[in-house]
Amino acid sequence: MIKILFVCHGNICRSPMCEFVFKDMVAKAGLSEQFHIESRATHTDEIWNGQGSPVYPPAKAKMTEHGISCDGKRAQLLQYSEYSRFDYFIGMDSENLYAMRRILHGDKDGKVSLLLDYSNHPRDVADPWYTRDFETTYRDVVEGCKGLLDYLKKKMG
């Protein structure tokens, strides 16, 4: 089983979009049994008293527009102990990459990468919390998730 953890700053926009878009792609490819997919935050901005915020309403609306549900998802913080549990840690931007490596005490096994490194145009996924452009973020997420799935299917043989 391939275990993937998508990571962004607050786990309310980009990483949950990736989590549920990728789950949808994997299901449509008939590969759900071969993957375990979750998402996390690098900061506690959206977690209070142990309770994470739900997916940000405009991000949730964008996924709903494309027939993808993220009901029940709440922000969770990335933990050092998860390094041994997951095969891939996929960040959204260079700031996430830095924070992930700090939390995970480095990346001795080469598990940390950026989502759009799996695309033909590597770049950061813009944070829609700041840009308010959820459509561009959604397109970036789909582009990166397709590239990641193609990469993993080749590795699977």
- For residue 87, the surrounding DSSP H or E stretch is none
**Closest alpha carbon to 137 in 152, 116, 117:** 116
Active site residue 8: yes
Q: Which of 13, 18, 93, 127 is catalytic?
A: 127
Active site residue 127: yes
> 8 with 42: CB under 8 angstroms?
yes
Q: Which of 8, 13, 18, 145 is catalytic?
A: 8
Active site residue 14: yes
Beta 47-48 vs 35-41: how paired, if at all?
A: unpaired
> 11 with 76: CB under 8 angstroms?
yes
> 7 with 92: CB under 8 angstroms?
yes
Q: Which of 13, 14, 140, 145 is catalytic?
A: 14
Which residues are annotated as catalytic?
8, 14, 127
